[in-house]
Amino acid sequence: MAKTVLVVDDSASLRQVVGIALKGAGYNVIEACDGVDGLAKLAATDKVHLIISDVNMPNMDGIQFVKTLKQKPEYKFTPVIMLTTEAEEEKKREGQAAGAKAWVIKPFQPQQMLAAVSKLILP
Amino acid sequence: MMDLDPQMAAALQTFFEESRDLLQEMESALLFMEDQGADLERINAVFRAAHTIKGSAGLFGLEEVVRFTHRLENLLDQIRSGTKMLTPANITLLLSCGDHIGDYLDRLVSAAPLDQHFLSEDLRLLAELQAALGAREQKLPISKENNLQLYEHTEASSSSVTEIPADEKVSTSANWHISLRFGIDTFRDGMDPLSFLRYLQQIGDITGLVTLTDALPALPQMDAESCYLGFEIGFSSVADKATILDVFDFVKESSVVHLLPAHSQIGAYLKMIQQLPEADQHLGEILVAVGSLTSEELQRALALQENTDQTGQHQPLGEILVDQKMVQEPVVQGALEKQQQQRESQSAERQLLRVRASDLDYLVDLVGELVIASAANRLFAGQDALEARLESATQVARLVEEIRDGALRLRMIDVSELFQRFPRVVRDTARTLGKDIRLEMHGEGTELDKSMAEKITDPLMHLVRNAMDHGIEPAEQRLQVGKPAQGCIALHARHDSGGIVIEVSDDGAGLNREKIQRKALEKGLITADQVLSDQEIYALIFAPGFSTADKISDISGRGVGMDVVRQNIESVRGRIEIHSVSGRGSIMRIHLPLTLSIIDGFLVRLAQDTYVIPSESVEECLEYPKVQGTVGYMELRDQPLPLLDLNAVFNKRATDESRRNVVVVRHGLERIGMVVSGILGSQQTVIKPLGKLFEQVPGIASATILGNGDVAPILDIPTLIQRHYAISAKSAHSFIH
C-alpha cells in the first residue's frame, strides 16, 4: 500500500509538480489549496503519512494549519514539511513551535522535495 | 522552449494561468492601495502573489522569474515590515514589475525571444528595485544543497551535528562510522528513526549496525511516544560527508549525530565517546562490534581516556530527556474558531475545477440536442392523449431545461473577471492624458459566457479609452461648467430581458451632434439634405474611417476602432447603442445575448426545406404583396423596401408560391425584405458549426438540428444584406422579382 502525502499550497502548479515527482516515486498524493481545505482533505482521507504545507496561504496559513492538526491525536506523529522562503525567518520559529520539524526552502527542485520526503517516509 | 514530458507541460500551463491570475490580483491590490491607502491585508496579498510565483517558477527552472521576483519580494518584505513605505512611486514600480513578469511569461508561452526592449526593461526595473531597497542586495538562496534545512536550535542546548575533526589520516576507503542518538521527541516530531536508516541505504551500504537500548527505561516508566533508541552504524558509501550528514538533516536538531571516518584517530573516537550518554566501556565494545574500531584501538582509547577525563561529568540520560522535553504549545483556540468558520465558507468558493473548454462545449452541444429531442418527445406524447405519458414527458422536459440552464452556467464567468483589468487601464490612460478620472464599476456579479467575455474585452477597452479621451473634458473646462474636476467613467453590467447589458458611461461633454454631422458630410457618409435622428447621427461614429478627434492622440482617435468595435460586438450577435446628453455625458450601451451556443431562431420554409433566421434580426413578417410595384421592391409604410428572394439565392425550385411571405430583417441601418415560401414560427435552436466543406458558403452562418432530426441552415443576415446591396448596385434586376 503506497504511502499518502498531502500537499497543501495555494499554487496549483506547485502542487502539480510536487505531485508528479512524488507519484513518480510511488507515493499517493492528495492536494489541498489552503489550510482549511487541508483540514477538510485530512478528514476525508483514511491515512495521511506525511504533510507538505506552504506557510503563506490565504484563508488559513500553514502555521495555523499545522497548529490545528497537531492538536488532533491522529496527526500527532504525522511528519510535516513546511515550505517557506528565506524571507520568512520568524515564520520558521512559529512553524517549529506549531509542530513542524522539517522545512524546505522555496524555490526548490522537484528532486529535492522527493529527497526530503523519502528521508521521512519511503513509498 | 524546453523539453518537458506531457505531465510537466500541463503543470507549466497551470503555472502560466495561475501566474496571470496572481499578477492580476497583485495589480488590483496595488491599485486599491494607491487609491485608498496601504493596508496590511493587501500588502500581504501582493507579497503572497510574488511569493507564489517565485516558488512555482523555481520548480520549472525559470531562473529569470525567480531572480526577478526575489528582488521584488525583498522590497515587499521591507514594505510589509514597515521598513519602507508604500509610496506612489513604489506602487508604480511594483505595477511595472508585475507587467514585466507578465511580459516574460507571455514571451515564454509564445516562444518569443527576449529582445533588447525586454532586457533593457529588465535592467531598468532591477536598478529601480535596487534603488528602492536602498540596502545591499540580499543573497538569493538558490544553492543546490543548502535549501533543505532544519529549524536551527534557538536555545543552543544539546548539540546539533557535531563535527569532529577527522585529524589528518582519513582512511581512503569510503568507510564511515555513524553514531546516532535519536531525540526523545523524534516520534512526536513525526519522524520515524527507521526511515532515516532506510534512506541511508539509498546512498550507501550499512556494513554493521548495533541498536542501543541502554536508554530504554523499565516498562512501567516507559513512554510509548518517546524515542529511546540509539544506533552505531558502520557505513560504506561513495557519498561525501555533507551528503551523509544531510540524511539526518530533519533530526539534527533534536538528535545527536556523529560522523567519523572509520579507523580515524583514536582521539576523535574518544571525543565522541565522551559526548555520548552511554557508559564508555559499553560504547567501546559496540564500536568494536560494528567494526569501526578494532579491540586494540579500543584498549588504547580507553587508556587515553583515563588520562584526559578529569571531570567525568557525563550527563545522565534522564536529565537530557527533561532538558529536551518540548514545551507544549498552549492551546489558544477559542477566539480563532469563529474567524475560521467564516473563512471556511470563503474557502468553499475557491474549490474550483479546471475543465477543458472543448469538453464543456461538447456537453453544452449535447444538452442542446437533448432539449430539442425532449421537445419533440413531449409533442408526440401529447398526441397519444395518454395523460400519464404526457405528464412524464413534461417532467422530463422540465428537467432537461434545468440541465440546459445548468450546463450553460458552467460556461459563465462573473463580469468582474472582465472588469478587473479596467482599473489599471483607467489609471494608466488617465496619467497619459493628464486627466483626473476615477472608475466606478457596478453589477460585477452579472454572469456572461466566457467566450463572449473574451470577444468583447477589446471593444470595451476601446470604448473606455475613447470616453476618457474624447468624452471627459480637461479639468479647467469641467470646473467652468460647474462639474467636479475629477471625471468619472462607469462600467455597468446587468441582465436585461434574456440578455446582458454592459454600459460604458462618462460624465463628460457628450457627443457633439453638429460636429459628427459635419464630419460625416466631409467624409461623404451622408448627404446635406438627409434628415437624421439623434440615434442615426450617433451611429455614424461607427462608420469605417470616422473620427472626430481634432488631432490624433496616443489613446484613441486613429480613426480605426469604433467600426471595429461595432463589428466585434456584432460578431457575438450583440448590438451597441449610444445615448448622449450634451454637457452631461454619454452612455454606450452594449446588448449581448446570454450565450453563443443557443439562439432564438425564426424558422422559415424555402421550397421543402427549413431555414433559420436569428430572431434578433427579424423586425416583422408580412404577406407577400399580390400587386408588385417596382421590381425588387415593395412598399412598406410609404418607404421602399428592397426584396431578396431566398429561393433564388439558394437555387430552390419552389412549387407552391401561393402563400409566400416577406420577413423584414435589419442589420445596422440597412433593412431588407426576405421572400420565403412560408413561416414556421420561432424556436430555440442550438448552433452547430458547419463542417469545413460548407464554411465558405455565403449566406449561411451555421446550422442547427431540428426536432425531427433534419438539419436546418442558419442564415447569415449581414452577409446576405451586404451581398444584395453589392449585387443590386451592379445590376438592379438580378435575384429580384
Domain that holds residue B678: 598-730
CB contact under 8 A, B59 and A76: no
Identity of the residue numbered B268 = A
Closest chain B C-alpha to A78 CA, distance in angstroms: 5
> All domains of chain A, ordered by start, with CATH?
4-120 (3.40.50.2300)
CB contact under 8 A, B350 and A79: no
**A98-119 per-position pLDDT tens digit:** 888 788 888 888 888 888 888 8
**B629-651 per-position pLDDT tens digit:** 566 788 888 888 888 888 888 88
CA B216/CA B303 separation, integer angstroms: 28
Q: Is B156 inside a domain boundary?
A: no
Q: Is B151 inside a domain boundary?
A: no
**B578 and B660 share one domain:** no
- The backbone region for B175, taken as left when phi is positive above 0, alpha when psi lies in -120 to 50, beta otherwise, is beta
**B406 and B453 share one domain:** no
**B578 and B607 share one domain:** no
**B636 and B576 share one domain:** no
CB contact under 8 A, A17 and B60: yes
Q: Check which CATH number belongs to the domain holding B266 and give it.
A: 3.30.70.260
In terms of Cα–Cα distance, which of B549, B515, B538 is closest to B588? Answer: B538
From chain B, the residues in CB contact with A10 under 8 A are: 48, 52
Q: What cell numbers appear for B479 in the block?
A: 470646473
Q: Is B676 inside a domain boundary?
A: yes
**B713 and B568 share one domain:** no
Residue that wins the pLDDT comparison between B84 and A8: A8
Question: Which chain A residue has the Cα nearest residue B331?
Answer: A71
Residue B285, pLDDT score: 66
From chain A, the residues in CB contact with B344 under 8 A are: 36, 59
Count up the domains in chain B and report the number.
5
From chain B, the residues in CB contact with A83 under 8 A are: 55
- Residue B300 burial by Cβ neighbours in a 10 Å radius (0-12, 13-18, 19+): middle
**B118 and B72 share one domain:** yes
Residue B734, pLDDT score: 41
From chain B, the residues in CB contact with A120 under 8 A are: 190-192, 195, 250
Interface test with B, best of A3, A7, A9, A14 (most B CBs within 10 A): A14
**B88 and B13 share one domain:** yes
The beta-carbon neighbor of B190 closest among A12, A36, A79 is A79
CB contact under 8 A, A11 and B74: no
Q: Which of residues 16-45 of A touch B (CB under 8 A)?
A: 16-18, 20, 33-34, 36-37
Segments of chain B scoring below 70 in pLDDT: 1-4, 135-174, 262-352, 497-498, 545, 547-561, 595, 597, 627-631, 654-657, 668-669, 728-737
Interface test with A, best of B148, B191, B225 (most A CBs within 10 A): B148
Q: What cell numbers appear for A58 in the block?
A: 490565504
CA B731/CA B151 separation, integer angstroms: 88
- Phi then psi for B598, rounded to 5 degrees? -130, 135
How many other C-beta atoms lie within 10 A of the C-beta of residue B391? 11
Residue B128, pLDDT score: 85
Tell me which of B547, B567, B593 is where a domain ends.
B593
Residue B300, pLDDT score: 60
CB contact under 8 A, B154 and A93: yes
**B421 and B406 share one domain:** no
Q: What cell numbers appear for B463 in the block?
A: 470604448
**B226-272 per-position pLDDT tens digit:** 888 888 888 888 777 778 888 888 877 778 887 777 665 555 665 66
**A42-60 per-position pLDDT tens digit:** 988 888 999 999 988 888 8
Q: Is B95 inside a domain boundary?
A: yes
- Count interface pairs A-B at CB distance under 8 A: 169
Q: DSSP letter string over chain A? A: ---EEEEE-S-HHHHHHHHHHHHHTT-EEEEESSHHHHHHHHHTSS---EEEEESS-SSS-HHHHHHHHHTSGGGTT--EEEEE-TT-HHHHHHHHHHT--EEEESS--HHHHHHHHHHH---
Q: Please give the span between the terminal C-alpha atoms of chain A, in angstroms, as a whole number.
A: 8
Tell me which of B103, B133, B163 is where a domain ends.
B133
In terms of Cα–Cα distance, which of B635, B648, B713 is closest to B675? Answer: B648
From chain B, the residues in CB contact with A76 under 8 A are: 188, 190, 225
Closest chain A C-alpha to B219 CA, distance in angstroms: 21
**B422 and B403 share one domain:** no
Q: Is B142 inside a domain boundary?
A: no
Q: Check which CATH number belongs to the domain holding B22 and give it.
A: 1.20.120.160
Q: Is B167 inside a domain boundary?
A: no
The 3-state DSSP class for residue B587 equals: strand
Q: DSSP letter string over B153-194? A: PSS--S-SSBPPP--S---SS-EEEEEEE--TTTTTTT--HH
Residue B663, pLDDT score: 92
From chain A, the residues in CB contact with B187 under 8 A are: 77
Closest chain B C-alpha to A19 CA, distance in angstroms: 10
CA B633/CA B638 separation, integer angstroms: 12
**B421 and B560 share one domain:** yes
Q: Please give the span between the terminal C-alpha atoms of chain B, in angstroms, as a whole number.
A: 62
| Contact A99/B at CB under 8 A | yes
**B291 and B371 share one domain:** no
Residue B12, pLDDT score: 87
Q: Is B564 inside a domain boundary?
A: yes
The beta-carbon neighbor of A122 closest among B12, B73, B195 is B195
Q: Is B714 inside a domain boundary?
A: yes
Unique residue bearing C-alpha cell 501566474: B19
Q: Check which CATH number belongs to the domain holding B653 and give it.
A: 2.30.30.40
Residues B584-606, buried b or exposed e (16+ Cβ, 10 A)? ebbbbbbbbbbbbbbbebbbbbb
Residue-level length of chain A: 123
CA B547/CA B692 separation, integer angstroms: 38
CB contact under 8 A, B58 and A18: no
Kindly tell me if the per-residue pLDDT of A29 is higher than 90. Answer: yes
The 3-state DSSP class for residue B45 equals: helix
**B530 and B605 share one domain:** no
Closest chain B C-alpha to A112 CA, distance in angstroms: 8
- The backbone region for B140, taken as left when phi is positive above 0, alpha when psi lies in -120 to 50, beta otherwise, is beta
CB contact under 8 A, A71 and B73: no
pTM confidence score: 0.55
Q: Which H or E run contains B686?
A: strand B678-686
Q: Output the furthest CA–CA distance in chain B (Å, rounded).
A: 133
